[in-house]
Chains A and B, each alone.
Chain A
Amino acid sequence: MDLTLTPEQDDLERAVTRMLATAPDAWAGLAEMGLLGLGVPEADGGAGGTFADVFVVARALGRAGARTPYVEGVVGGSLLPGPADRLVVLAHDEPGRRWHPGAGVRAEPEPTGGTWRLTGTKEPVLHGAAADLLVVSATGPEGLGLFVVDPADAAIHSYLSHDRSPTARIDLDRTPATLLAAPPHADELLTAASVRAVTAYGAEALGAMEDALERTVAYLRTRHQFGVPLASFQALTHRAADAYVALELARSAVLYATACLAEDVVDPAVASRLKVQTGRAGRLIGQEAIQLHGGIGMTDEHAIGYVTARLEVIEHLWGDTGFHLHRLAAGLGDHGAVELLR
């Protein structure tokens, strides 16, 4: 077992970080570097590479605090492979529901031809307004299905979420759709997509946590109160140490999940364990980052609060820590000890 990145992946990381520091449009920069469609085989129109490359890009985005549809595109591309520059976004979450593998959106077959009409509302859909195509989950006569919708046919209301991510509400009213996956295949596709999504968001969260801890440590060193740096107060430095421990444990879980996907091992339990680690660590590090910055951490002007907000957004996508703990608890009888070495 080897959880380290290759020298090429380290180079990629540096290149992405450089681009993010200078390019006016991060999304265009990623496209220019040919990084969209990573992890999708070239035969399917993707950019090739493994999930380890996706990890590298997502983590760099997290560190830089860039709000691009990168992870959404990774997930969409795995559901509906196609040209790398085509952004496919999954619209699954619905208002008034916590994370739920099923869908309330209704799918009705058209009497003629193989097309369908979808009715209902999807929200939040991150980067929904930027999508070239939407994959929409809906419940039809046979159960959950996945459908492809042209965003031009749907009513899309767009706004910025609390972390400043472009987010959309998508209203469907007998909107034409084509079937992508019927039950039970749709469930399997969605489960596999969730493993990719949780892992890629985990990499982004890891980058965001690194950024939050670095900023916080720098602040403890430079901010003076009572005539001394904050770093001279053990009550503060020990909390930073706990944040570091949480970060390293989360890093291990994300690296492992990445290694699994890089070898096409798609295991929901691995994703759930990752989610528990990044969920706990994200909340600890995000909240401590604001608290240790004091009042300035609450301001719009200082970036640290938006790192915390981003970590909360990630926590609530694809099932929160509680959801994944329940899922792990339901599977306790499947194994003795957790075997990591395969």
Chain B
Amino acid sequence: MRLALSPELAAFRQELREFFETQVPWELREPVAHGAPLDRDVIVETHRILHRAGLAVPDWPLAWGGRDWTPLQHHLWAEEMHRAAVFPPLSPNTGLVGPVIAAFGTEEQKRRFLPPTAALDIFWCQGFSEPDAGSDLAALRTTAVRDGDEYVVNGQKTWTSLAHWADWIFCLVRTDPDAPKRQQGISFLLVDLATPGITVRPIRMIDGEAEVNEVFFDDVRVPADQLVGTPHEGWSYAKFLLGNERVNVAQIGATKLRLALVKEHALARQDDGSQLVDDPLLAVRIAEAEASLAALELTALRVAAGSSDGQPQPASSVLKLQGTHLQQLVAELTMDLAGPGSTATGTPSERTGAGAWERRSALQHLNMRKVSIYGGANEIQRTIIAKNVLGL
């Protein structure tokens, strides 16, 4: 057992802290710090700054820009990034499709896709869910039929995050409808969204934003060399990817930042000298959130230290469950702190900047309800824990 960071790691952390605070301009961090709606320019410009410094894809293989860090170094990187309110490298690129191509793609696919994926010269989105394939992802019905050197894709994806800003989409498609098991006939296909026959339609959500989309495929012709790895093996690639996604969606650093902001608001002196934290129930809720978040962070550190080969463990389900629970809890707490101010949403232009946190709080709370649904609904995580960890 050891509490302290080694001097080398402490220096490593200090170096990152300085980089994030001095090399990423405040204009790119301010919207993240204050929970503004997503902005494509913020995402792209931040990503490119990180990429130029070799900080966009540290967990990739060394040959493709990875840094060969220890899990603890990765933790410090993520922690410092969130602490400085830096928008993380685009996760569909760096955390989802990139690692899949690196692990299962052909050499030609790696050469063609990994550099622009790391640099965000390709903005990726994930085409997994379908109207009738949510938690039961293997029920997906979008088909890809081989025709000479091409696949012809037909079907519909939905809940596709940021497809309206994306250049390419990676999809799970059914290539063998006659396979004995549903999971066996699925392939992993890379598709340029500019290909004729694709329609992207944004879906307006309860927070008024349109982060997600429906994507329609109508006789879309995709070159066969854009099928990753082996045909019909896509399900195992998707499982690999979803394990990574679960770790990612715990968002511990981001929640830490939000909770620190909650405390700032709660401790601020009001006109009459009082503090919101004078309300003992609110104070206790904040204290409990802090204790829970510390326990989760320590658990993440334990999981990181335990996964020497970088493979996601079943414990990633614990992180997903509790991480999303705390994201929601802190959003709820922020809204409750704002009280009636949370209903004074104002107009979009009135909702920007640090002072407008109360106006944004309810919309953020509504937005956060998504996190226990995506990345494998929390009920799916409970089933994974019961089965894979407890053997039930």
Residues of A bordering B, CB below 8 Å: 1-6, 50, 52, 217, 220-221, 231, 234, 237-238, 240-242, 244-245, 248-253, 255-256, 258-260, 262-263, 265, 272-273, 276-277, 325-326, 328-330, 332-333, 336-338, 340-342
Contact = CB atoms under 8 A, between A and B. Distances in A.
Given A248-B315, A255-B302, 10 more contacts: A221-B392, A231-B392, A252-B295, A252-B302, A253-B295, A277-B295, A332-B287, A338-B256, A340-B301, A342-B4
Interface string B357-380: 000000000000000000000010
Interface stretch (B26-34, B93-101, B276-284, B346-354): B276-284
Interface string B52-92: 00000000000000000000100010000001000000000
B263 A273 contact: no
B2 interface: yes
Contact of A340 (B294, B315, B382): B294
B389 interface: yes
Contact of A241 (B256, B290, B293, B390): B390
Contacts of A262: 1, 3
B259 interface: yes
13 contacts: A1-B301, A237-B382, A241-B383, A256-B298, A260-B3, A276-B287, A277-B292, A325-B288, A329-B280, A333-B277, A336-B263, A341-B4, A342-B4
Given A1-B3, A249-B296, A238 B379 contact: yes
A242 B1 contact: no
Closest 4 CB pairs of A and B: A252-B298, A328-B287, A329-B283, A237-B386
Nearest to B321: A245
B50 interface: no
- Chain A, interface SS category: helix
B253 to A, nearest CB: 10
Nearest to B277: A332
Contact of B286 (A221, A231, A272, A332): A332
Contact of A248 (B286, B305, B318): B318
Contacts of B72: 1
A337 B296 contact: no
A249 B252 CA distance: 14
A265 B3 contact: yes
B256 A337 contact: yes
B290 A3 contact: no
B130 interface: no
Given A249-B296, A325-B284, A5 B1 contact: yes
Contacts of B266: 332
Contacts of B318: 244-245, 248-249
A3 B382 contact: no
Which interface residue of A221, A255, A332, A336 has the most chain B CB atoms within 10 A? A332
Contacts of B11: none
B297 interface: yes
B183 interface: no
B135 interface: no
A336 B385 CA distance: 34
Contacts of B321: 245
B382 A242 contact: yes
Contacts, number: 156
Contacts of A251: 299
Contacts of B287: 276, 325, 328-329, 332
Interface residues on B, range: 35 or more
Contacts of B322: 245, 249
A325 B277 CA distance: 14
Contacts of B305: 2-4
Given A221-B392, A337-B256, A340-B298, A259 B1 contact: yes
B295 A244 contact: no
Nearest to B282: A329
A260 B263 CA distance: 25
A329 B278 CA distance: 10
Contacts of A273: 290-291, 294-295
Contacts of B389: 241, 244
A305 B315 CA distance: 28
Contacts of B179: none
A338 B315 CA distance: 23
B90 to A, nearest CB: 25
B336 to A, nearest CB: 15
A244 B389 CA distance: 9
B390 A332 contact: no
A250 B295 contact: yes
B298 A3 contact: yes
Interface centre among B381, B386, B389 (most CB of A within 10 A): B386
Interface in B312-350: 315, 318, 321-322
Contacts of A341: 4-5, 13, 76
A221 B391 CA distance: 9
B205 interface: no
A6 B305 CA distance: 14
B260 interface: yes
Contacts of B4: 1, 263, 341-342
Given A3-B302, A332-B277, A238 B382 contact: yes
B260 A2 contact: no
Residue among B284, B293, B392 with max Cβ neighbours from chain A (10 Å): B392
B267 interface: yes
Contact of A3 (B1, B13, B76, B257): B1
Contacts of A253: 291, 294-295, 298
B306 to A, nearest CB: 8
Nearest to B264: A336
A252 to B, nearest CB: 4
B267 A241 contact: no
A325 B379 CA distance: 29
A23 to B, nearest CB: 28
Contacts of B284: 325-326, 328-329
Contacts of A50: 1
A171 B295 CA distance: 41
Contacts of B259: 337
B62 to A, nearest CB: 25
Nearest to B267: A333
Contact of B3 (A263, A276, A277, A326): A263
Most A-side CB within 10 Å, residue of B1, B301, B318: B1
B382 A241 contact: yes
A249 B301 contact: no
B391 to A, nearest CB: 7
B392 A217 contact: yes
A82 to B, nearest CB: 27
A221 B390 CA distance: 10
